Every structure is written in structure tokens, then in C-alpha cells.
């Protein structure tokens, strides 16, 4: 059958390449760096730092500074204004726009032709190859893949007469998909790239109700919104009545643990499978290459050279990343990448820990700026999401979204204690047992994080967590108020600032909140 022939064609090349990067990772990464240096040696940046094919990884790390987005922005601005050969040969026509989650200013990441084809598309094909290899009996390519994305507009800094565009990375990718790949997905581009999110959800739901959807791909938060609307329009108990052949969800952008129970309710089919992808505006970093393990295989031959910044270097004015050969198991690292889009020793902000060194597999632990550490408790997103998932399972409720922030010590009080305040949106309108939920959440955090447990001991430094169950739609309303509906925008879940929590609670009009 045609779908089976296509599956074999997709698997050809991808599976053998993935095997090679598992078996010879350091050799693969050395080749990637050498290619990047040769391609960029004639650019402004390459000439500034003496790029050439003989530059060793050690010399590269000595010569080239580690840069945040803000530090690299003067060069990125030149690229956006149409100057050629700045960070990478040529003049990019596309930019991935990312609002960031702690900074309201948008970030613009170049998406070169090399990055599009050698990173994003290559990784997408790899994921498709693995999925069809894992589940051949499901014939995933005989139906459609439902993918949600953002939109794109003109590059705001383009020079007169230029046609460069900027938008959510999913929109950039969808707009330029090869014809064969576009034929596998739904909805059509005219709907997928609509700008107004509420209209987009409604029109997509109407369209996809009548498609043979077998795979979902996207951010869990927004996929839930769409699935619920499809179920409501169809007037059925769950989505299996609409798409009886639905078997796979390729998910990313946020941790899936807090959503797992919610998806079980929406798709109550034991044959449903879930695979995680790890991609961002800057590139496609890793994917789940084992169906029974949530560890993610680092993609080492996709045009990205990796370094890793240990936690004790995150706030250093002169950070010193380590190479892939030097990483250790279970330690937290921030990603530092050099890419075929012209990002050089760029701090992504995401943090990972290695679960395997042979091959190199990771789990995402959060972001360098997204954690709760107001009192030395060092709670990272990985802790929080595991605790929410445990509390959800213990109380039989599903969580749609949440955010947490510190409760500061009261000025002038000798007995005031710090704490954490949580706004949680549950999937059901039924009132959850907040006391029980909070107790399990607290106990799980204590079990996972010794620093948190020490601060919570006898409630001497930290009081028990304070929880608010906010009404359905609260987080969506808050995102809308920030102009961040749709695409890969998501709620910042842990912040040492109370700004987001206060805004969410105001949007929810929680009783007792000022």
C-alpha cells in the first residue's frame, strides 16, 4: 500500500543516521563543528574570531564568547535589517519569533535554509521514521497528522522592498513544508496560519471533524482546547468517536506529566501512544527514540554543536561551558549552542540533565530563569511538574495549567514565613479537594528536592503551599491579554517574581485576593 511504501521511504536513511549518532556521538559533533566553522569563515563573525577548518573545539571555546540573546542582539539586528553575511552566509528570509516567558520583548531567531532543511525538517522526518517504525500496525501515514501552529507577518525591521517574514517557528516550518509532507497534514495552511486564535480553533475544529486523523502534533495546552471543541461540535463523549484510528500524539514545549490524565479522559483508548519532541525557535534538539522511556536522544548531526553550562556557572559573568565529552549524569546543565542559523555559543535558557552517556540522552528540567529560589529552595520546573502530576493522580483530577510564585516574608513581622502560592486551573468544573491536592504536592516536592524539604521542615522557613483553583479559561484569558494566544506561547510556571501570578489571580477574581 502507498502509506507503507511512504513509511519505508521515510525510515530509509533516518534510522541508520540515528544509529550512527548513538554509536559515534563525539565524532559526529566534531564533524558538525568543522562544517559550521568552514561555512561561516567568510562572515563578519567568522572573520572576527578567525574561523577556519583547523580551529579545534578547545580553541573555538577560548576565542568565541558565550552570548545571551541580549548580547548577540546587535548582530541579529543587522541580519533583520537585511545585511548579508553577518553571522551566517547570505541573508535569511525567515525569522522565528519567540516572546520568551520572562521577558515581554519578542526575540527573533534567524531560520536559514540550512537550519530549515538540515535541522527542523530532518528532525521531523526522523520523528516520523521512528513513529512508523515503532507502530507499523497503526498505519499512521494512511491518515492525517493534525498539527497546530502560529502565524507569521512581515519582519518588522526589514528594509524597504524586502520580503522577509517573522512568526512562530511552527508557522515558518509549515509555510515551507515539502509537498509530500504537506499532503500528510491537516488543516490546510489557510486555516493553520490564521492569526485570530479563537476563530482559528473554531474553523479548524469544524474542518478536522471530517478528516481521518491518526496523529496529533503540537503543544498539549492548545491541543486540549481543540479536542474539546471537536468533541463538543460532534456531540460525542470523547474524541475516539470522531477519530477511531487516532493512535499517536507527538507533543512538546511543555512537560506532559500534568496533562497525561486529561488526555486519557479525552482519548480513552489503550492503543493511544505518546512520544515527546524537544524543539524550540533555535532548533530541534532531541526526540524520544525509545517508546517505553521518556528520555530524549540528543540530535547531534542536525547542524547544532552543543556545549553545556553547569549550574554553578549560570550567573557567572564569564561562564565556562563544558563539552559533550565532559558532561556527567544527572547534573543540571544549561544548553549552549552553535548553529547553522548563525547562533554562536548561544545560551538557549533551557536546562537539561543527562540520563545516559552512551548514547547521550537527556530530560528537560526547566529554564535557567524559571525556578523558585526565593528562600534557597531551588525548586525547578521538573520538580513542580512531577509534584502536580502526583497530586493529580492522588486526587483523581486533571490539571490544565498552573503557575507559582513566592509569598514573601512580611515586613516588620517576627513570625512571618515565606512560602509558595499556586494558581491551578483544573480540567473539570467540579471542585477539587484542594487540601488533599496541596498536601500531596507538598510531600512530593519534599521527596524530590532536599533543599525544599529542609526549608519546609516543621514549617520553620516555608509555610505549606497556598493554592487557588482558578476558573476554566483563566490562563487562556491571561495569555490573550498578553497577546500570546496560540503557537508555542505558554504560561511561565515558576517565577521568583509575583507579576504573572498576580495578573492571573486578578483575571480569575479569586476570593480574598487584592
Residue 97 lies in a domain: yes
Mean pLDDT of all residues in the chain? Answer: 90
Task: Determine the pLDDT at residue 416.
Answer: 56
pLDDT grade for 510, boundaries at 50, 70 and 90:
low
Task: Determine the pLDDT at residue 370.
Answer: 72
**Same domain for 122 and 5:** yes
Percent of the chain clearing pLDDT 70 (strictly above)? 94
Task: Determine the pLDDT at residue 514.
Answer: 46
Residues recorded for the chain: 514
Task: Determine the pLDDT at residue 258.
Answer: 66
Q: Rounded to whole angstroms, how far apart are CA atoms 274 and 362?
A: 17
Q: What is the pLDDT of residues 1-23, one digit of tens each?
A: 788 988 898 899 999 999 999 99
**Same domain for 498 and 430:** yes
Q: Does residue 57 carry a pLDDT above 90? A: yes
**Same domain for 420 and 361:** no
Q: Rounded to whole angstroms, how far apart are CA atoms 496 and 426?
A: 23
**Same domain for 75 and 111:** yes
Question: Residues 391-405: what's their mean pLDDT?
Answer: 93
Task: Determine the pLDDT at residue 100.
Answer: 47
Task: Determine the pLDDT at residue 432.
Answer: 84
More confident residue, 309 or 223: 309
pLDDT grade for 412, boundaries at 50, 70 and 90:
very low
Residue 123 lies in a domain: yes
**Domain stop point among 306, 339, 367:** 367
Q: What is the DSSP letter of 235?
A: T
Residue 95: give its domain's CATH number. Answer: 3.40.50.12780
Lowest mean pLDDT among 185-199, 208-222, 359-373, 427-441: 359-373
Q: What is the DSSP letter of 417?
A: -
Lowest mean pLDDT among 344-348, 357-361, 391-395, 506-510: 506-510
Lowest mean pLDDT among 26-30, 159-163, 243-247, 296-300: 159-163
Q: How large is the C-alpha radius of gyration of the chain?
A: 23
**Same domain for 222 and 189:** yes
Q: What is the pLDDT of residues 87-124, one digit of tens each?
A: 999 999 999 987 543 343 578 999 999 999 999 999 99
**Same domain for 325 and 387:** no
Residue 514 lies in a domain: no
Tell me the whole-structure pTM to 2 decimals.
Answer: 0.79
**Domain stop point among 301, 334, 367:** 367
Task: Determine the pLDDT at residue 199.
Answer: 87
Q: What is the pLDDT of residues 351-373, one digit of tens each?
A: 999 999 999 999 988 777 677 87
Structural domain boundaries enclosing 486: 371-508
**Same domain for 480 and 442:** yes
Q: What is the pLDDT of residues 287-297, one digit of tens each?
A: 999 999 999 99
Task: Determine the pLDDT at residue 278.
Answer: 94
E strand or H helix at 432, and its extent? none
**Same domain for 159 and 24:** yes
Residues with Cβ within 8 Å of 324's Cβ and at least 6 positions away in sequence, in order, are 25, 26, 29, 300, 306, 307, 308, 360
Residue 513 lies in a domain: no
**Same domain for 165 and 80:** yes
Residues with Cβ within 8 Å of 158's Cβ and at least 6 positions away in sequence, in order, are 80, 81, 82, 164
Q: Does residue 409 carry a pLDDT above 90? A: no
Residue 28 lies in a domain: yes
**Same domain for 434 and 362:** no
More confident residue, 350 or 92: 92
Task: Determine the pLDDT at residue 149.
Answer: 81
E strand or H helix at 338, and its extent? strand 332-339
Look at residues 467, 400, 387, 388 and name the one whose alpha carbon lies nearest to residue 428: 400
**Domain stop point among 308, 337, 367:** 367
What's the number of domains the chain is made of?
2
Q: What is the pLDDT of residues 134-151, one digit of tens each?
A: 999 999 999 999 998 888
**Same domain for 334 and 190:** yes
**Same domain for 139 and 166:** yes
pLDDT grade for 465, boundaries at 50, 70 and 90:
very high
Residue 410 lies in a domain: yes
Q: What is the pLDDT of residues 419-436, one digit of tens each?
A: 899 999 998 877 789 999
Task: Determine the pLDDT at residue 379.
Answer: 85
C-alpha cell at 468: 487557588
Q: Mapping DSSP to helix (H, G, I), strand (E, B) and coil, where does residue 96 land?
A: strand
Amino acid at each position: 500500500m502507498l502509506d507503507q511504501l511512504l513509511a519505508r521511504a521515510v525510515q530509509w536513511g533516518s534510522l541508520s543516521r540515528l544509529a550512527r549518532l548513538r554509536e559515534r556521538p563525539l565524532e559526529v559533533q566534531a564533524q558538525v563543528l568543522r562544517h559550521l566553522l568552514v561555512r561561516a569563515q567568510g562572515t563578519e563573525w567568522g572573520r572576527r574570531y578567525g574561523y577556519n577548518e583547523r580551529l579545534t573545539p578547545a580553541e573555538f571555546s577560548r576565542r568565541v564568547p558565550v552570548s545571551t540573546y541580549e548580547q548577540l542582539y546587535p548582530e541579529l539586528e543587522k541580519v533583520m535589517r537585511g545585511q548579508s553575511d553577518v553571522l551566517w552566509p547570505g541573508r535569511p528570509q525567515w525569522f522565528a519569533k519567540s516572546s520568551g516567558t520572562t521577558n515581554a520583548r519578542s526575540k527573533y531567531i534567524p531560520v536559514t535554509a540550512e537550519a530549515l532543511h538540515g535541522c527542523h525538517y530532518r528532525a521531523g522526518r526522523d520523528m516520523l521514521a521512528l513513529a512508523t517504525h515503532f507502530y507499523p500496525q497503526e498505519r499512521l501515514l494512511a491518515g492525517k497528522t493534525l498539527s497546530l501552529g502560529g502565524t507569521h507577518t512581515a519582519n518588522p525591521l526589514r528594509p524597504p522592498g524586502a520580503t522577509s517574514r517573522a512568526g512562530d517557528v511552527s508557522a515558518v516550518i509549515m509555510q515551507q513544508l515539502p509537498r509530500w509532507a504537506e499532503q500528510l497534514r491537516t488543516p490546510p495552511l489557510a486555516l493553520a496560519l490564521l492569526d485570530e486564535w479563537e476563530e482559528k480553533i473554531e474553523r479548524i475544529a469544524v474542518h478536522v471533524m471530517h478528516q481521518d486523523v491518526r496523529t496529533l502534533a503540537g503543544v498539549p495546552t492548545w491541543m486540549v482546547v481543540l479536542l474539546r471543541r471537536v468533541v463538543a461540535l460532534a456531540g460525542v463523549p470523547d474524541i475516539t468517536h470522531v477519530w477511531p484510528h487516532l493512535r499517536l500524539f507527538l507533543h512538546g514545549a511543555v512537560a506532559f506529566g500534568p496533562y497525561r490524565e486529561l488526555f486519557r479522559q479525552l482519548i480513552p483508548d489503550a492503543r493511544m501512544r505518546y512520544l515527546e519532541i524537544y524543539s524550540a525557535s533555535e532548533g530541534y534538539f532531541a526526540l524520544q527514540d525509545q517508546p517505553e522511556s521518556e528520555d530524549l536522544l540528543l540530535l547531534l548531526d542536525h547542524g547544532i554543536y552543543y556545549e553545556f553550562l553547569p549550574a554553578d556557572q549560570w550567573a557567572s559573568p564569564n561562564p565556562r561551558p563544558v563539552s559533550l565529552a565532559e558532561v556527567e549524569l544527572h547534573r543540571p546543565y544549561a544548553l549552549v549552542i552553535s548553529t547553522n542559523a548563525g547562533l554562536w555559543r548561544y545560551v538557549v535558557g533551557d536546562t537539561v540533565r543527562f540520563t545516559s552517556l552512551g548514547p547521550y540522552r537527556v530530560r528537560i528540567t526547566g529554564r535557567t530563569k524559571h525556578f523558585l529560589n526565593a528562600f534557597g529552595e531551588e525548586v525547578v520546573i521538573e520538580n513542580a511538574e512531577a509534584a502536580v502530576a502526583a497530586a493529580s493522580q492522588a486526587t483523581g483530577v486533571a490539571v490544565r495549567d498552573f503557575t507559582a510564585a513566592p509569598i514573601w516574608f512580611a515586613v516588620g513581622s517576627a513570625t512571618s514565613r515565606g512560602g509558595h502560592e499556586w494558581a491551578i486551573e483544573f480540567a473539570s468544573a467540579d471542585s477539587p479537594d484542594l487540601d488533599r491536592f496541596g498536601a500531596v504536592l507538598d510531600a512530593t516536592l519534599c521527596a524530590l528536592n532536599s533543599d525544599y524539604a529542609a526549608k519546609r521542615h516543621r514549617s520553620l522557613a516555608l509555610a505549606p503551599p497556598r493554592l487557588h483553583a482558578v476558573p476554566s479559561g483563566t490562563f487562556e484569558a491571561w495569555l490573550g491579554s498578553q497577546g500570546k494566544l496560540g503557537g508555542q506561547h505558554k504560561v511561565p510556571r515558576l517565577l521568583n517574581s509575583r507579576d504573572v501570578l498576580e495578573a492571573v489571580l486578578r483575571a480569575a477574581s479569586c476570593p480574598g485576593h487584592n
